[in-house]
Chains A and B, each alone.
Chain A
Amino acid sequence: MLSHSPFSDGRLASCLRLLAAGDALLLTGDAVYALAADTVQRQALELMPDSVALFALEEDLQARALVSLPARLTAVDYSGFVDLCTRYARVNSWL
């Protein structure tokens, strides 16, 4: 789980290197800016292997008016966020 802007911070790059098959990435807060069109961060997310699932917190997408999102992205509300945490064996938040 990431929550920092990918434009001013190395967490996204660092996290992407640690992802393994069967993992999922959840973008929250300013981390959803990684989905902005025409950015290298968006490109990096699109290039993740299919075995890594991509999620974002819906309220953060809406607040930032992020549209034309990647087809592989699933937006979740808080109930979906909780479900994700039950579905994966551990949750690693990049504080």
Chain B
Amino acid sequence: MKFAIALFSAPHSPASRRALRFAEAALAGGHEIVRLFFYQDGVHSASANIVAPQDELDTAAEWSHFIASAQLDGVVCIAAALRRGVLDAREAERHGRPAANLAQGWELSGLGQLHEAAQQADRLICFGGH
């Protein structure tokens, strides 16, 4: 089955870890993930500037690693990301900000990507809140 997964919570939220474990289990079960879409506070998952304490789970790093190793499409809503300070080099330059912090392997794009994923998938699964 084809899943589209949308995450609405920050990487320090339990919902983010839950979404990640779900996504891993979906692939392990032989399913396909057509896209991971990050909206609202979920956009922080794509920040390269998160430093988790050494004895704590670094969910943002795990997301980046998961997306790279499974070669998934990790898309961050551009409007939500700009509002929360997650910028790629192009946006940083366009808005005169000193640095870009979008981690490697992620892409800023519009909400159309969420709808496109929902059209391609058999199920849209959203994670958010706590």
Query: Which A residues are within 8 Å of any B CB, using their own CB?
Result: 3-5, 28-30, 57, 77-79, 81-83, 85-86, 90-91, 93-95
Total interface residues on B, CB under 8 Å, equals: 24
Q: Are A79 and B123 in contact (CB under 8 A)?
A: no
Q: How far is it, in angstroms, between the C-alpha of A79 and the C-alpha of B21 when the chains are bound? A: 9
Q: A85-B123, A94-B129 are in contact. Are A29 and B26 (CB under 8 A)?
A: no
Q: How far is it, in angstroms, between the C-alpha of A90 and the C-alpha of B128 when the chains are bound? A: 17
Instruction: Sort A-B residue pairs by CB-CB distance and give the 8 closest, nearest first.
Output: A95-B128, A78-B25, A93-B126, A95-B129, A82-B25, A82-B26, A78-B21, A3-B129
Residues in B101-130 with C-beta less than 8 Å from chain A: 122-130
Q: A3-B18, A28-B18, A91-B123 are in contact. Are A82 and B29 (CB under 8 A)?
A: yes
Query: Which B residues are within 8 Å of any A CB, using their own CB?
Result: 1, 3, 8-9, 14-15, 18, 21-22, 24-26, 28-29, 31, 122-130
**Helix, strand, loop or mixed for chain A's interface?**
mixed
Q: Which residues of A contact B130 (CB under 8 A)?
A: 3-5, 29-30
Q: Are A85 and B125 in contact (CB under 8 A)?
A: yes
Q: How far is it, in angstroms, between the C-alpha of A5 and the C-alpha of B129 when the chains are bound? A: 11
Q: How far is it, in angstroms, between the C-alpha of A28 and the C-alpha of B25 when the chains are bound? A: 16
Q: Which residues of A contact B18 (CB under 8 A)?
A: 3, 28-29, 57
| Closest residue of A by beta carbon distance from B125 | A91
Q: Are B15 and A29 in contact (CB under 8 A)?
A: yes
Q: Are B123 and A3 in contact (CB under 8 A)?
A: no
Q: How far is it, in angstroms, between the C-alpha of A84 and the C-alpha of B38 when the chains are bound? A: 23
